[in-house]
Amino acid sequence: MESANRVVITGDVLRANANGTPNQPLNIRWLYNLLHYPISRALGSAKLEIVIWDDEGTLDGRRVYELCGLEPNEENWARLATAEELPPGAVEYLSPFFRGAVVIGFELPDVLIRTFHALQIDYVDLTIHPVRFLDDILFGVRTSIPEAFEVLKVRAVDEDVFHIQAGLHKATVSRMTPLPIPADSCLCVGQTRVDKSLVAQGRILSLLDYRDEVQRIIDRHSRTYFKPHPYAAGQEDVVRALVELGDVEITGENIYRLLADEHITEVFGISSSAIYEAAFFGKKGTYLYMNPLRLWDATRPSNFDPWVFVPVYDDLLSPRCWAELLARRLKVNTCPENRLAPKASRLRISLQSHWGYNFLDSELLLRNMTGERV
């Protein structure tokens, strides 16, 4: 692989809203602002740039859709995101934005990852790790750079931390007034109507696609609780269908209070992160589709795999971490391991996404006074 001469921060620049407008500028600019200094401090002479699709951006997403013979909208984004490859014209248009760069991405779609592989463009791709109940959120990180993968392994969060923190939350919930949940109940977790984790074979999945399997799960439990996603409006058809399948109760209880309840024995859904989290609370987790992320497991052979996400805490705010990650592709500076003082929910608050953790953390309890029970 040739050495790069610049770093590009970007994300899912192909994702469109229903009306054809770009969906991801906020996330990409957040990542750029978060990592601008540590990456700049790590770099020698290489430039740091941003590639974004919006009214002021450098890339025209509508042009990409046009070159693919599609209109920009949610349905066609699902088709593009899961495509094996882009048409040659679209690749030719996108190439100059990324050639000669190491790409730092936020939730890059698989079709862009495959395009980067074909063009021999290296990347470090970040997503929010599905474990959201630690003192702060953490990143899952995958990379095409073998040496960077080794750096990530050294800096990975040990899975023991997940189990310890889940135990603390179970202890907290055990001192609360018990919920009136029958023994051997199950929990169905809802998701937003449109999400990257719901895209499969060119379409956006719904619980209605799995009616028969949902019926089998409901039938083997005393009661089923459906926890709608707090930001998923307009899913009355899903709710009606679930209630018709058996003893199903809609609940607005906090997700972690439900995960910690000893009477809930199984958690299921399409691809929700709560299904992965359930195992750390001693529950059976059942994916109707699959876990959308290939997650690194320290207990298994850890050969280099550019599709595997490694869990990393706030090491990514350290210039030295970026100097280590980029050293094999760029000239980098010698950087100290400067770190911010430990603080709960630093990134969670910055991203303004709490995923129900506010119920458990004393620093966020003021949110509970508003009645928010996500």
Least confident of 57-66, 170-179, 232-241: 232-241
Same domain, 122 and 32: yes
C-alpha to C-alpha distance for 265 and 186, rounded to whole angstroms: 6
| pLDDT confidence bin for 373, thresholds 50/70/90 | very low
Per-residue pLDDT of 112-139, as tens digits, reads 999 999 999 999 999 999 999 999 999 9
- The candidate with the shortest Cα–Cα distance to 249, out of 278, 272, 274, 227, is 227
Within a domain: 354: no
Same domain, 199 and 245: yes
Would you say residue 370 has pLDDT above 50? no
Same domain, 145 and 238: no
DSSP state of 273: H
Secondary structure of 82-126 in the HEC alphabet?
CCCCCCHHHHHHHHHHHCCEEEEEECCCHHHHHHHHHHCCCEEEE
C-alpha to C-alpha distance for 328 and 332, rounded to whole angstroms: 9
CATH number for the domain spanning 205: value is 3.40.50.2000
- Quote the pLDDT of residue 301: 64
Same domain, 33 and 132: yes
| pLDDT confidence bin for 344, thresholds 50/70/90 | confident
| Percent of the chain clearing pLDDT 70 (strictly above) | 93
Within a domain: 267: yes
C-alpha to C-alpha distance for 125 and 28, rounded to whole angstroms: 12
| pLDDT confidence bin for 200, thresholds 50/70/90 | confident
| Percent of the chain clearing pLDDT 90 (strictly above) | 75
Structural domain range at position 22: 6-156+296-340
Q: Which helix (H) or strand (E) holds 212?
A: helix 211-219
Within a domain: 347: no
Do residues 229 and 143 make contact, with C-beta atoms less than 8 angstroms apart? no
Domain count of the chain? 2
Same domain, 301 and 231: no
Per-residue pLDDT of 254-306, as tens digits, reads 999 999 999 999 999 999 999 999 999 999 999 999 998 999 987 776 789 99
| Arithmetic mean of pLDDT, 207-224 | 95
What angle do helix axes 88-98 and 110-119 make, rounded to 10 degrees? 80
Query: At residue 252, what is the residue type?
Result: G
- Quote the pLDDT of residue 196: 85
Within a domain: 360: no
| pLDDT confidence bin for 90, thresholds 50/70/90 | very high
Same domain, 137 and 29: yes
Within a domain: 100: yes
Same domain, 305 and 272: no
Question: Which tokens is 100 given?
Answer: 């000669």
C-alpha to C-alpha distance for 214 and 339, rounded to whole angstroms: 46
C-alpha to C-alpha distance for 168 and 112, rounded to whole angstroms: 39
- Quote the pLDDT of residue 366: 42
Would you say residue 53 has pLDDT above 70? yes
Same domain, 32 and 123: yes
Same domain, 334 and 277: no
Within a domain: 166: no
Question: Which tokens is 318 given?
Answer: 């350290």
> Can you say how many angstroms the Cα of residue 212 is from the centroid of all Cα atoms in its chain?
28
| Arithmetic mean of pLDDT, 55-75 | 93
- Quote the pLDDT of residue 32: 98
C-alpha to C-alpha distance for 338 and 228, rounded to whole angstroms: 41
Mean pLDDT rounded to a whole number for the chain: 91
Would you say residue 322 has pLDDT above 50? yes
| pLDDT confidence bin for 2, thresholds 50/70/90 | low
Same domain, 265 and 137: no
- Quote the pLDDT of residue 235: 73
Q: Which comes out higher in pLDDT, residue 229 or 227?
A: 227
- Quote the pLDDT of residue 364: 42
The values of phi and psi at residue 367, to 5°, are -65, -30
- Quote the pLDDT of residue 360: 67
Least confident of 148-162, 178-192, 226-240, 321-335: 226-240
Within a domain: 167: no
Within a domain: 348: no
Same domain, 193 and 246: yes
Do residues 118 and 151 make contact, with C-beta atoms less than 8 angstroms apart? no
* Residue recorded with tokens 């029970």: 373
Same domain, 20 and 137: yes
